[in-house]
Amino acid sequence: MKDLPDRYLLNPHWRTIKIVGQAKVLGISATTIIVAPLLSRILIKLNEMETSIKQAHPALDALFPLIKYQFELPLSIKLLVGSAVFALLGKGLYEWQCPVYIKAGDAYQQFRHSQARASEELAGAFLKIMRGDNKEKKGEMISGLHALNTHITEPRVPDTYQWQVDTTIKLEAAGRVQLPGPAAHIMRFPDVGESFFYVLRDVMDDSRWAARVACAVFYGAAFVLLSLALAMQLGWAVRGMLL
């Protein structure tokens, strides 16, 4: 239980956010994006026709305030609209900031077939890590590849100057040594690309902390408003059954 705030709010990872964003219950609030504007338009027209309705018959002049009160947009609908807005904000930020090799799919085959430039995406992400200053990420990348029997033979040391000046690498994967070449070309081999895909997902799952926390806040607000709306509706249902 102590890990829940850290996992879902303080330091949520991209794959956790992906699962939360796919929750089917958010579809309840999403439908109000279509329904609420229709109801709002009816209410606006009703307000615009107030003078005409009151003048149509003396009885309508007395009843109009009651009619108008009964046709106000329910608070539960307003809460659902708010939930839908926050859910859309979270989804939009996720699509913008989440690395493509994480959001594209859970398997390498899904990523490879969903992206026209899959190998270039992997190569770019890999070289960005190796050319950066984060030694921890570099170490995680190298050790993760070793665990999948993919070994970089050139450059031999992750911090060597070659990473800054050259995109050519040489590696050994699945018992065979690939000839030196651009990273994007080497990663076109399925056995090589698959290793880089799974390691990058693990290494970069905690990247872009601010965007991840913002996504978690948006989704959290969406669930809170949705819960309030459902609680109100459930309260009305219980009251109706007790009559």
For tokens 């989804």, name the residue: 91
Residue 208 gets the label, from left (phi > 0), alpha (psi -120 to 50) or beta, of left
For tokens 């693990």, name the residue: 202
Burial 99-126 (b: 16+ CB within 10 A, else e): bbbbbbeeebeebbeebeebbbbbbebb
Q: What is the per-residue pLDDT for 47? A: 63
**What is the domain partition of the chain in residue ranges?**
3-99+208-242, 108-203
Is residue 83 within 8 Å of 31, Cβ to Cβ? no
Residue 176 gets the label, from left (phi > 0), alpha (psi -120 to 50) or beta, of beta
Give CA–CA dist 34/81, Å, rounded.
10
* Tens digits of pLDDT across the chain (243 residues): 556 666 766 788 999 899 888 888 777 766 666 666 655 565 566 665 555 655 555 555 555 555 555 556 677 778 888 888 898 899 999 999 999 988 887 888 888 888 888 888 998 899 888 888 888 898 899 899 888 888 888 787 767 777 777 677 888 776 666 666 788 788 888 888 888 999 999 999 998 899 999 999 999 999 999 889 888 878 777 777 776
pTM listed for this prediction: 0.77
The type of residue at 224 is V
Supply the DSSP string of 142-195, one letter for each residue.
Answer: HHHHHHTTEEEEESSSTTSTHHHH--EEEEEETTEEPPSEEHHHHTTSHHHHHH
Q: What is the per-residue pLDDT for 62? A: 54
* Both structure tokens of 153: 């033979």
> Pick from 124, 141, 143, 128: which is nearest to 187 by CA?
124
Q: What is the per-residue pLDDT for 174? A: 67
Q: What is the per-residue pLDDT for 93? A: 94
Beta strands per DSSP E along the chain: 150-154, 168-173, 176-177, 181-182
Sign of the alpha-carbon dihedral angle for 113, 116, 122, 125: negative
Give CA–CA dist 70/82, Å, rounded.
22
SS3 36: helix
